[in-house]
Amino acid sequence: MIFIATNDDGWLTGQCAQLPQAISQGENLDDLMENMKDAIELVLAYQSEKFLEKYKTVKEYTIKNLTIRHETASSNKTSQRKRVFA
| Top-confidence residue, 65 or 85 | 65
Q: What is the pLDDT of residues 23-73, one digit of tens each?
A: 999 999 999 999 999 999 999 999 988 888 777 766 666 667 666 665 666
**Selection from 68, 63, 62 nearest residue 80 by Cα:** 68
In a 3-state reduction of DSSP, which class is residue 70? strand
Q: Report the C-alpha gap between 39 and 19 in whole angstroms.
A: 10
Residues constituting the chain: 86
Q: Is 39 helix (H, G, I), strand (E, B) or coil?
A: helix
| pLDDT value, residue 62 | 67
